Amino acid sequence: MKKLFLLLLLSNMMLNSQANEQDKVQSAVEIFFKGFHNKDSTLIKSVVHKSFSLNSASLRNNQSTLSNFDGDQFIKAVVTRSDDPAWKEILTSFEIKIDGILSNAWVGYEFWLGDKMSHCGVNSISLIKEDDSWKIFNISDSRRRDCN
């Protein structure tokens, strides 16, 4: 009976630890998008790795295209963009996987320019754990116009 109790206790502790790490990953992603919406480079940089990059996959004329962006150039574009129309990325779902110091957040989104939806898709966000914090090192997104 003692062994069963200890096994259940340890299992519960491991599940709580995993859930806590998932919360930390989701928090890093949410901080990134708070900085994105507020044009706050300091906030964005607080959760990105020094080698941060972005990729975007889309269909153009029935051809797959992949665009690559340097992280620093992306951050500069975010903070210097015009306020009109406003950019708004609504995060619609989260699925987080963790293996040691590596994590991936699969995040559904809708992207709005002002009051019009521009596109939707999924952000595949890769993070690495440094010390006790999660840092985003890559965001790869899909972009679709058929968002029904």
CATH of domain 2-143: 3.10.450.50
pLDDT over 90, % of the chain? 82
Q: Are 105 and 25 in contact (CB under 8 A)?
A: yes
Which distant-in-sequence residues (6+ apart) come within 8 Å of 31 by Cβ? Answer: 43, 46, 47
The DSSP annotation for 56-95 comes to EEEEETTEEEEEEEEHHHHHHHHHHS-SSSPEEEEEEEEE
For the entire predicted model, the pTM comes to: 0.85
pLDDT(62) > 60: yes
User: Strand ranges (DSSP E) for 8-148?
Assistant: 48-60, 63-70, 87-99, 102-113, 116-130, 133-143
Tokens 């044009």, residue located: 39
Q: What is the pLDDT of residue 141?
A: 97
